[in-house]
Structure 1
Amino acid sequence: MLEDIAENVAGDRLRVDSITKVGAEIHGYEPTPRDVAKASEADLILDNGLNLEAWFGQFVESVDVPHVVVSDGVEVLDITEDANAGKPNPHAWMSALNAQIYVDNMVAAFSDLEPAYSAEFAENGEAYKRKLEELHQKMINKLDSLPDNERALVSCEGAFSYLARDSGLREKYIWPVNAEQQATPQQITSAIEFVKTNEVPAVFCESTVSDKPMQQVVRATDASFGGTLYVDSLSESDGPVPTYLDLIRHDADTIVAALTGGAE
C-alpha cells in the first residue's frame, strides 16, 4: 500500500520500490540479505510505524539511510485485548482519512529529498487526497441507512478499528493481531455471542489468513459470510485490489453490500 500511495505522490520524479511483495504477511515478515542490499542503495525509506513492522527496527539499523514514519500525526487507537492490549493498532491506513495524513507526510519527505519538485509533489498529494475524501464520503452515505444493530463490523483480525471509527460501526474480531493462525475456542465463542446478541447480518475475513474460524461463526449464527477484505496487502495487478484506492473501495463496497443486503 505504501508503495502505491508513494508512487501517486512522487509521480515520475522518484523511483519507488517495496521491500515486501504482494500477498506477504507484513507482521512477521523476515527481510532477506537482498532486501538489506536494496534498501542500502535508497535515498529514503518509508515505513508505517505503530509497531506494524515488528522486524523493521533491526532492519533499518542495518542500513545507513534516513527514514520517515508515514503514520506520524495520526490519532492512534489502541489494541484493547490479549497480549497486545495497550499497544497502538498499526492498521491506520485502513482509514481513508488517515491516509490523507500519510500523503502529507510523503509530500513533506519527498520535498525535502527533491526540493525542486516540491510544488509538483504537493499538487499530486492534493489530487490524491480528494480521491480519498470521495471514497470516505461514499461509504458513509451508504451506511447511513443501517439500523443500530447492523452497524457492526465483525472480522478475523482487529484491523478495522480506524475504518469502524470513521464510519460509525462497532468493531468485533476473533483475534486482535495476526500473530497466530489458530483462533482459540474462547475467541470464536465470543464472536458467536456478539453476532447472535446483535443480530449482525454478515461477517468478514481478510485475504492473508484462513477464513475457517469465521466460517465457524457463520455456521453457529444466522449471519452470512460477507466476503474477503484486504488489509495487509494489495493483490496482483490482475486481481481485485491492484491499488490502494481499489483496496479501500473494494472493502467499503463489500462491507456495505453485505450489511445492507446489497442495497445501494
Structure 2
Amino acid sequence: MPKFLFRRAKVAARTLARGTAAFRAAGAAAVVLLSLSLTACGGAASGNSDSDKPVVLTTFTVLADVARNVAGDKLTVESITKAGAEIHGYEPTPGDIRKAAKADLILDNGLNLEAWFGQFVEGLDVPHAVVSDGVEVMSISEDSYQGKPNPHAWMSPVNVQIYVDNMVTAFSKLDPENAAVFQANGDAYKAELQGVQDEMKASLAGLPENQRALVTCEGAFSYLARDAGLKEVYIWAVNAEQQATPQQITRAIEYVKANQVPAVFCESTVSDAPMQQVVGATGAKFGGTLYVDSLSEADGPVPTYLDLIRHDADVITKALAGTSTGAPAGAK
C-alpha cells in the first residue's frame, strides 16, 4: 500500500466526523471519498499512477507549471483548475474536494486571488503553503477594490523567483530526502526566470514614451507594467466583477483618445467585447489576446509560464510599436 494512502483515508474519516462546512458543502462527495479511501487501504489499486510520490495540488495552471519545474520527478503536481479556466470566481466541485483531501500539500497564490479557497480547505487535514509570501505587494488603485492587494504577482518573473523559494521550502518539508534536488531545480529555474525578465525588459524598452500605455480588460498587469516601465490602464480592476460598467468603458475610451494609444488588449479568460467597444470608439487597434490567469493547452501558444511571459511581451511590443496588424474583432 502506498505510504501516503492510509493517512488520506484517516483524513477523510476525520473530515466526515467533524461535520464541518467543507463536509456540508461536499455532501455525498465526502462519503464517496471515504469509501474509496478505505477500499484502497484494503488493497484496491490507487487512482493515481504515481501513487508512490507525494501529491502537490495547486489552485491554477500557472502555479502547477512553476511547481513542476521545482519538483522535477520527485513529486506529482496537479492543478485544481484546467487550462483556460477563470480563477477568481471559480466554484470548486465535489471532485475537487475529493482531490484535495487526497493531496499531501496544497499551494495557493494568496493575495485574495482565490476567494473560494478558505472554505475549500476548511476541515481538510492537508498542509498548504502560500507561494506569494514575501513578495512586495502592489495595491489596486481604483474601483471598489481600491487599497486591496493586486493578486497577480506572478506576472513579474522577479516575483516568481520568490514563489520558487517558497516552493523549495514547502517541498523540502514534505519530502526531506529530496531537499537538495528541489534546491538545485529551483536555482536552475530561477536563472531561466531572470533570463525571461531580461528579455521582456529589452523587448519593451524601445517603445516611445507616448506608446508606453498598456490598456487591458482586467487590471492584471500592474507587476509586469512596473517591471517594464509601462503605464497600466484597465476597464475593470478584478475579473470577479463579471462585466464592465458603462462608466468603466467610457473611462477607458477617454484615456485612449486623450493619449492616442495605438493598441489595446484583453485577456484569454474573459470576453473581449467590452474592449471592442473601446476599439470602435477610438480607432485603436485590438492588439491581441494576453494570458494571465491560465496557461493554454499543451498545443496552444502558452503551455508554460515562461511561454506566457514571452508571448505577452511580444504581443504588447509589436502592437504598441505598430509592427503587427492587430487582431480582428472578437479574436481570442
Same-fold call, TM cutoff 0.5: yes
1:168 to 224, 229, 233: 229
Q: How does 1:211-222 map to 2 (within 5 A)?
A: 211-222=272-283
- CA distance in 2 between counterparts of 1:23 and 1:139 reads 23
1:50 corresponds in structure 2 to 111
Give aligned-pair identity as a percent. Answer: 73
What secondary structure, in the 3-state scheme, does the structure 2 residue paired with 1:86 have?
coil
Tell whether 2:232 aligns with 1:154: no
Q: How much has 1:202 moved relative to structure 2?
A: 0.9
Q: How does 1:32-181 map to 2 (within 5 A)?
A: 32-181=93-242
Per-residue deviation, 1:182: 2.4
Compute the RMSD of aligned alpha carbons: 1.1
Q: Tell me the alpha carbon deviations over residues 217-249 of structure 1, each in whole angstroms, 9 at most, x when there is no partner.
A: 111113211100011111111111111111111
User: Is the CA contact 2:203–2:314 (under 8 Å) kept in the aligned structure 1?
Assistant: no
State the match for 1:9 in structure 2.
70
Whether contact under 8 Å (2:207, 2:317) holds in the other structure is no
DSSP 3-state at the match of 1:154 = strand
Deviations 1:144-164 (A, max 9, x none): 222211111100000000000
Cα distance in 1, alignment partners of residues 295 and 256 from structure 2: 28
Show CA shifts across 1:14-34 (max 9, x none). Answer: 011111111111111111111
User: Could you say what secondary structure the match of 1:62 adopts?
Assistant: coil
Distance across 2 between alignment mates of 1:139 and 1:4:
20
Give the ranges of 4+ consecutive aligned residues of structure 1 lying more than 6 Å apart after TM superposition. none
Instruction: Give the letter aligned to residue 100 of structure 2.
Output: A
Determine whether 1:261 maps to 2:331: no
Structure 1 gap segments, 5+ residues each: none
CA distance in 2, matches of 1:176, 1:140: 24
Q: Deviations 1:20-62 (Å, cap 9, x if unpaired)? A: 1111111111111111111111111100000000000111113
Greater displacement, 63-72 / 15-24: 15-24
SS at match of 1:3: helix
Q: Distance in 2 between matches of 1:129 and 1:261?
A: 32
Task: Identify the match of residue 21 of structure 1 among 82, 85, 88.
Answer: 82
What is the TM-score of this pair, normalised by structure 2?
0.77
**Partner SS for 2:112:** coil
Encode CA deviations 1:112-139: one digit per residue, 9 max, x unaligned.
1111111111111111111111111111
TM-score of the aligned structures, taking structure 1 as reference length: 0.97
Number of residue pairs matched? 263
- Which residue does the alignment assign to 1:252? 313
* 2-structure distance, mates of 1:228, 1:87: 26
RCO higher in structure (CA 8 A, sep ≥6): 1
In 1, Cα distance between equivalents of 2:214 and 2:248: 16
Unaligned 5+ runs, structure 2: 1-61, 325-332
Q: Which has the larger radius of gyration?
A: 2
